Structure 1
Amino acid sequence: MNRSQVRLRPFPIKAKLGTLVVVSVFITTGLLIVALRTDTELRFITVFSVIATLLITQFVAHGLASPLAEMTTVARAISHGDYTRRVSGSDRGDELGSLAEMINRMADDLEAQDHHRKELVANVSHELRTPIAALRAVLENVVDGVSEADPETMRTALKQTERLGRLVETLLDLSRLDHGVVPLRARRFEVWPYLSGVLKEAQLTGAAVARRNLVSNSGSHSRTDVHLHLDVSPPELAGYADAERLHQVVANLIDNAVKHSPPHGRVTVRARAGTQPESLEIEVQDEGPGIPRSEWHRVFERFNRGASPKAHGPGSDGGTGLGLAIARWAVDLHGGRIRVAESARGCRIHITLPGRAPQVDLT
């Protein structure tokens, strides 16, 4: 056995207190024996015995009180919302070490829950902002007389209102996240009409936002020069997924691809059958500058906006860095996979959805 592997097991607190009593008795007895053999006065023996016992007691008490004081400080910080503090000495092996380990574990859980809560609020806020902005753009154009309240315009407003309603309804389901399960309302659907509707909604929303910015002379611009192309093979392809969650994925990927496309570029959405029954493979590809391979592992992180602002197209506003993170979250709920794929030009995001999406435990 190596010397580095030899580790003495620390004494438990009861053993330490018992050792303190035994040592104190031995010291007192030893001093009494010395006093009897050397004719030393008893008062000196008593003083020496008391001093020695106090020193040993102070040493042992410091070893017990110091970790407790640190635990009190950390517990107070946690109670005030600081979940980054940790207690040292969790590897002591005694009762205090076990208590320190439990406090650290509790702090880890609370920090994870707080991080998840903030991420959830950011993701929901991001999702709510898009239909609200589009609906406001459509209504402002109608009020300002820029566009007529024709059936097509009203259908656009209605779709955004319905999407808002669905998003608000999902807020009620988010409480189930505390129990570790997010419900998926998966169903079988025809891929072509579904994706065609998502692309059409993206085109109408972009046009409405562009008209609003033109009237208001806003400094930001919405891309209307990018062509959206849908490629589904075979045309009767069917899939099995949660329609609202999948809408989050495709809409965010299209929005991201449009922002990074060159002038008069092309964004292609492809759908193919997967290897399993009713499984689906979807790709969204643009003709922009692409993503450096060194950034592939970071593109789905929250608030990641790319290595360089030059990668954004002329209509890019920089974004919030949440779109791809939301896409990964929704794909993970389906038990699928989303990744950056090889591409000769631009960026290609590949999604794989299983035929039957299980409920995913997030704990």
Structure 2
Amino acid sequence: MNPFRRAVTYVTSRPLRPKLFISHCLVALVTMAIFVLMTLFFNPEFSSFLRQGGSLAAVVPYVALAAVVSGVVATAASLFVSSRITRPVTRMLSATRLVSSGDYSERVPKQEDDELGELSQSFNQMAEALEAAEYQRSEFISDTSHELKTPITTLQGYLEGLLDGVIEPSDDTWGLMYVEAERMRRLVEDLRQLSRAESETLTLHLTDLDPEEVTDLAADGMRPLFTEKGVALESHHSEAHPNVRADRDRTLQVLANLLSNALRHTPKGGTVSVRLARRGQKVAFEVADSGSGVEAEDLPRLFDRFYRVEKSRSREGGGSGIGLAISRALVEAMGGRIRAESEGVGRGATFVFTLPISNNAKSSR
């Protein structure tokens, strides 16, 4: 390595503050050298001074004074600029180390409205996202273990009873054990499907679907359960709607999840309605119930995995707790959006999801 490259490597490997100081000093020295050279060669008055017997030694004190002043100014400028740059960078470096060690609560104060300020803001947004993801991960593990604990404990109790002879083998015993095993299988399958949908690895077969036909098919499949509980199930199609581009089985699954959720939270004598409406280039599927309702602060989190609304929509009836999360993942995978609406506790709720209209859309009637 030649001396020049070695010197460059040495300088660039130094901390930011010395590099800024050196760069300012170099700028000052180069500027002063250019000024001196321009004065020596292009200034007529100075050339006349030399021809009349003047000596360069006479200007040395002035050059030295200029060098000292330039050095002082360069030092002051480098200290000022480096402090404004290195202080937030140092804080960000410290915060980065804390975040990398697992402390996602660390934030960097935004001091300036420049690129460093934007960098601090971006870092804080990243830290907030990591903190939220870590919280959701911890909550997900806790909820999953809780969901699996109950059927595993039940199965273990029955097996110990059978081994000890306390419980006699019977069809009822085997049936109860099968129900608990099926509950675990269904939860694992739901989690697998949710993971595939959220990671966009779920295979979709998009076709042109008649929205009225799909809603009627989903309602007819759920109607016996509604009749058994004494809840009215209504399906309204007041006008023709264009075909949508979606996966038939997944659309039916979303409708079944929403209808099952509505049935679970609607008391006997209540009503659940399925409606269709056009929203621009999308068709909206609405499932409205007259059940327990949802408070406004709980609406945004209804589609989170295992989220419980203790006062209104706590999980009852054996649901896995991730049906709404799966519905959101499926709808978004098909290019739509899903949301929940409610006027409050005891005033029912409406779940609405949209699907894009087919490019070859024709009226379904």
Give the corresponding residue for 1:301.
301
Give the corresponding residue for 1:329.
325
Choose 1 or 2 for highest CA Rg: 2
Report sequence identity in percent.
21
Whole-angstrom CA distance in 2 between matches of 1:246 and 1:194: 10
Tell me if the contact between 2:234 and 2:271 (Cα under 8 Å) persists in the aligned partners.
Answer: no
Q: Is the alpha carbon distance of 1:86 and 1:163 closer, same or farther for their aligned partners in structure 2, counting shifts above 3 Å?
A: same
SS of the residue 1:347 aligns to? coil
Give the corresponding residue for 1:21.
26
Give the corresponding residue for 1:171.
191
SS of the residue 2:104 aligns to? coil
Whole-angstrom CA distance in 1 between matches of 2:158 and 2:205: 31
Query: Is 2:195 the counterpart of 1:194?
Result: no
Select which of 271, 274, 292 maps to 1:272: 274
> What is the CA distance between 1:74 and its match in structure 2?
1.8
The residue correspondences of 1:1-363 to structure 2 (distance < 5 A) are: 21-23=26-28, 53-87=74-108, 88=110, 91-93=113-115, 100=120, 103-104=123-124, 106-107=126-127, 110-111=130-131, 113-118=133-138, 120-121=140-141, 124=144, 128=148, 149-150=170-171, 158-176=178-196, 179-180=199-200, 190-194=218-222, 196-197=224-225, 228-233=229-234, 241=250, 249=258, 254-255=263-264, 266=268, 268=270, 270-272=272-274, 274-275=276-277, 281-286=286-291, 295-301=295-301, 305=309, 326=322, 328-333=324-329, 334=331, 335=336, 337-341=338-342, 346-353=346-353
Deviations 1:295-337 (A, max 9, x none): 335345366746xxxx67xxx9x779xx999565344333464
Whole-angstrom CA distance in 1 between matches of 2:205 and 2:182: 17
> What is the CA distance between 1:161 and its match in structure 2?
2.9
Whole-angstrom CA distance in 2 between matches of 1:356 and 1:41: 79
Deviations 1:128-168 (A, max 9, x none): 567668x669969x9899999556x8656545533421321
Q: Is the alpha carbon distance of 1:182 and 1:71 closer, same or farther for their aligned partners in structure 2, counting shifts above 3 Å?
A: farther
Tell me if the contact between 1:198 and 1:250 (Cα under 8 Å) persists in the aligned partners.
Answer: no
Whole-angstrom CA distance in 2 between matches of 1:356 and 1:163: 34
Q: Is the alpha carbon distance of 1:230 and 1:305 closer, same or farther for their aligned partners in structure 2, counting shifts above 3 Å?
A: closer
> What is the CA distance between 1:274 and its match in structure 2?
3.0
Whole-angstrom CA distance in 2 between matches of 1:246 and 1:156: 29
Tell me if the contact between 1:279 and 1:353 (Cα under 8 Å) persists in the aligned partners.
Answer: yes
Whole-angstrom CA distance in 1 between matches of 2:76 and 2:277: 74
Give the corresponding residue for 2:244.
none
Give the corresponding residue for 2:43.
none
Letter in 2 for 1:83: Y
SS of the residue 1:22 aligns to? helix
Q: Is the alpha carbon distance of 1:342 and 1:169 closer, same or farther for their aligned partners in structure 2, counting shifts above 3 Å?
A: closer
Please, what is the CA RMSD of the aligned residues? 5.8
Q: Is the alpha carbon distance of 1:299 and 1:44 closer, same or farther for their aligned partners in structure 2, counting shifts above 3 Å?
A: closer
Q: Show structure 1 runs of 5+ residues with no match.
A: 1-13, 201-227, 258-264, 359-363
